């Protein structure tokens, strides 16, 4: 018979025996630690893995050049590639709501569907095991409840009946919004919430400690809203322990639905004496008033079994035959109604239509997206707003949008060249993306992905305006290895004979469109020195912009091949123009 019991039975007082020191220490940490230490150990290990992925594998500020590398002038972030084999996006990939919503919204296959399916199959053996054992947000909520929630009694709620089905309604609304093409999962799914929240809360502090506050990008509404949401999820513990997990989390609702195919379940034998110890110990409100199991809520944490004084609770195969305590029909909880689910779904779909309409009104100027981003409509459908790409960016050139592009653009990544440029030796953002909204390009491909196009303001640029000599943008572009900005003779006057007049014109920087990839390093240099340090300009005189004809957004295919094809086409046009000129001028050419 399949049995998964790992709980620590309740200590029974015996004559001449006392509780061991270890048992007393476990008891001081709470019932779940005393009765289910194995679960707490797995939780701790999983949380440490999450922290390692977020704050070590994703930590970009130790970027170092590799002195042995040659062939490309810039090697600022060479050493980041040594961590690529570690799955920084691992936790995001196993949140089933993230994978499902992405596939539905973008109408495409995403690789994280396979990993999400794998965790769902595992949770058939340990129902809602992800929620009880692996979820880092749940672990953080447990820590908040232990440190704060248990000490604050005034907000506790007793009757939770009307909250019980809320997570299913949020799940229905989220899936319906995905069908309408809006990615709501990034707002409500568990792993994006903690990934984004931890990044926005901790990264600035660590970065400021290491480099000073001047190195930390200024916060915007995107940061504030994310931190408010993250704090609100934790604060729900003031109402009831694990309130978010029990009644709100739509990711948990997916696992609850999967519990219908569970292999193992909690069973209560006739040895039960109705003492209610299991009900008081259960952290997930998974026990009915007749001490039977509310199967959609049970995570097999086994705290109840440890608390049971008669050892009447066991965790065995669903088909196992034991002498069960008979259930009481009046103790069963009502199920969520179809009408409520339908209403939630319609609400989600209508909200998605409203979000898309409001966002379309704000689409005035195209956004500079990370290199390798898929076309904008698909990008908004696949991006789950986890901001893992921001976390791994070594220059902080990627920053979250606030409400500039409406609700549909909230938390999506955008390049801010006034702050920093995209380094040619880094492709970390694509490696960290769990949904393919940013393609995981090899470094050579990434270097040919055009993010936007630089344009020199001929009115404010110092050489163009005749104010003074300046070659900051030219030097920066040459150091990056693109050589897309060069000095040319401009404004030269022509005489009647068609020859240039001596003494007219001047040398000024000009962008070579065919070489520029829009990395923004030129804009950063101009802004830092001419605007911030010297104050000779109010804004950068060279600016990167995106849009049709100025960026490449490929779903599949090679950026390098695209650049080579464009170069070949340009060479053919130049050759044809030269032949036409020769034919027209004849012997005078």
The pLDDT of residue 30 is above 80: no
Q: Using one digit for the tens of pLDDT, what is the confidence trace for 126-183?
A: 889 999 999 999 999 999 998 998 888 878 887 777 778 899 999 999 999 999 989 9
H helices of 276-337, in order, are 277-281, 303-307
Q: Is the pTM of this model over 0.85?
A: yes
What average pLDDT does the segment 5-22 reach? 70
- List of residues 6+ apart from 144 with CB closer than 8 A: 234, 237
How far apart (Å, rounded) are the C-alpha atoms in residues 185 and 320? 37
Band (225; pLDDT cuts 50, 70, 90):
very high
First and final CA of the chain: distance in angstroms? 95
Tokens for 308, please give them.
């049971």
The pLDDT of residue 68 is above 80: no
Distance of CA 31 to the CA centre of its chain: 34
Q: Domains (ranges, CATH) in the chain?
A: 358-438 (3.30.70.20), 450-557 (3.30.70)
Residue 34: predicted pLDDT? 84
Q: Using one digit for the tens of pLDDT, what is the confidence trace for 444-485?
A: 899 999 999 999 999 999 999 988 999 999 999 998 889 999
What is residue 98's three-state secondary structure?
Answer: helix
Residue 451: predicted pLDDT? 96
461 DSSP assignment: S
Find the helix packing angle between 190-211 and 136-147, rounded to 10°.
70
Tokens for 325, please give them.
């305590």
What average pLDDT does the segment 236-243 reach? 92
What average pLDDT does the segment 277-286 reach? 90
Residue 12: predicted pLDDT? 63
Residue 318: predicted pLDDT? 85
Task: Tell me which residue has tokens 């040319």.
Answer: 488
**For 341, how many CA atoms within 13 A lie in the half-sphere containing its CB?**
11
Answer positive or negative: Cα dihedral of 111, 131, 52, 429: positive
* Long-range Cβ pairs for the range 533-539 (8 Å, 24+): 536/462, 536/467, 536/468, 537/460, 537/462, 538/460, 539/460
Mean of per-residue pLDDT scores for the chain: 86
The pLDDT of residue 585 is above 80: no
How far apart (Å, rounded) are the C-alpha atoms in residues 153 and 239? 8
What average pLDDT does the segment 244-253 reach? 94
Q: Are 223 and 200 a contacting pair, CB within 8 Å?
A: yes
Residue 21: predicted pLDDT? 73
Band (84; pLDDT cuts 50, 70, 90):
low
Tokens for 543, please give them.
């600016």
Residue 464: predicted pLDDT? 92
Band (489; pLDDT cuts 50, 70, 90):
confident
Tell me what percent of the residues of the chain surpass a pLDDT of 90. Answer: 46
Residue 85: predicted pLDDT? 66
Q: Are 551 and 451 a contacting pair, CB within 8 Å?
A: yes
Question: Higher model confidence: residue 410 or residue 338?
Answer: 410
What average pLDDT does the segment 282-293 reach? 88
Q: Are 296 and 256 a contacting pair, CB within 8 Å?
A: yes
The pLDDT of residue 276 is above 70: yes
How far apart (Å, rounded) are the C-alpha atoms in residues 492 and 476? 26
């Amino acid at each position: 018979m399949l049995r998964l019991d790992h709980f620590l039975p309740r200590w029974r007082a015996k004559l001449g025996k006392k509780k061991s020191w270890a048992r007393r220490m476990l008891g001081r940490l709470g019932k779940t630690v005393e009765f289910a230490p194995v679960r707490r150990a797995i939780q701790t290990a999983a949380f440490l893995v999450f922290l390692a992925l977020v704050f070590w594998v994703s930590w970009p500020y130790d970027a170092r050049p590799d002195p042995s590398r040659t062939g490309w002038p810039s090697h600022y972030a060479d050493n980041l590639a040594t961590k690529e084999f570690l799955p920084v996006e691992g936790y995001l990939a196993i949140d089933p709501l993230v994978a499902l919503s992405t596939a539905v919204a973008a109408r495409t296959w995403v690789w994280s569907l396979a990993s999400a399916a794998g965790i769902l199959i595992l949770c058939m053996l340990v129902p809602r095991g992800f929620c009880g054992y692996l979820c880092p947000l749940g672990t953080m909520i447990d820590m908040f409840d232990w440190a704060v929630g248990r000490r604050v009694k005034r907000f506790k709620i007793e009757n939770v009946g009307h909250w019980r089905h809320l997570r299913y309604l949020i799940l229905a609304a989220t899936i319906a919004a995905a069908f309408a093409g809006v990615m709501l999962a990034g707002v409500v799914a568990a792993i994006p919430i903690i990934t984004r929240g931890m990044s926005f809360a901790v990264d600035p502090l660590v970065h400021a400690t290491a480099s000073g506050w001047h190195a930390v990008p200024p916060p915007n509404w995107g940061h504030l809203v994310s931190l408010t949401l993250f704090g609100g999820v934790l604060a729900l513990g003031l109402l009831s322990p694990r309130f978010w997990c029990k009644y709100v989390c739509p990711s948990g609702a997916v696992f609850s639905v999967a519990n219908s195919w569970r292999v193992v379940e909690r069973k209560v034998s006739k040895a039960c004496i109705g003492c209610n110890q299991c009900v008081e110990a259960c952290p997930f409100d998974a026990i009915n008033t007749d001490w039977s199991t509310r199967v959609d809520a049970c995570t097999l944490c086994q705290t109840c079994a440890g608390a049971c004084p008669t050892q009447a609770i066991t965790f065995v195969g669903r088909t196992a035959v034991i002498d069960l305590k008979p259930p009481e029909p009046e103790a069963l909880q009502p199920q969520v109604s179809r009408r409520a689910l339908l209403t939630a779904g319609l609400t989600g779909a209508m909200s998605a239509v409203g979000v898309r309409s409001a966002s379309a009104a704000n689409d005035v100027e195209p956004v500079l997206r990370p290199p390798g981003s898929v076309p904008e409509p698909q990008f908004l459908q696949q991006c789950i707003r986890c901001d893992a790409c921001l976390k791994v960016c070594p220059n902080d050139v990627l920053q979250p949008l606030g409400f500039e592009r409406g609700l549909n653009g909230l938390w999506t990544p955008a390049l801010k060249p006034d702050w920093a440029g995209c380094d040619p030796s880094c492709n970390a953002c694509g490696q960290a993306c769990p949904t393919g909204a940013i393609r995981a390009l090899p470094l050579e491909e990434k270097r040919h992905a055009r993010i936007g196009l630089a344009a020199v303001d001929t009115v404010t640029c110092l050489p163009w305006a005749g104010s003074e000599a300046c070659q900051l943008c030219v030097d920066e572009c040459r150091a990056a290895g693109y050589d897309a900005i060069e000095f040319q003779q401009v404004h030269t006057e022509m005489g009647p004979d068609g020859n240039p007049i001596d003494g007219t014109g001047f040398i000024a920087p000009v962008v070579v469109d065919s070489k520029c990839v829009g990395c923004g390093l030129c804009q950063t240099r101009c802004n830092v020195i001419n605007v911030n340090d010297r104050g000779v300009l109010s804004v950068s005189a060279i600016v990167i912009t995106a849009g049709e004809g100025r960026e490449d957004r490929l779903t599949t295919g090679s950026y390098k091949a695209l650049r080579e094809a464009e170069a070949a086409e340009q060479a053919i046009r130049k050759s044809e123009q030269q032949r036409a000129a020769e034919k027209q001028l004849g012997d005078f050419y």
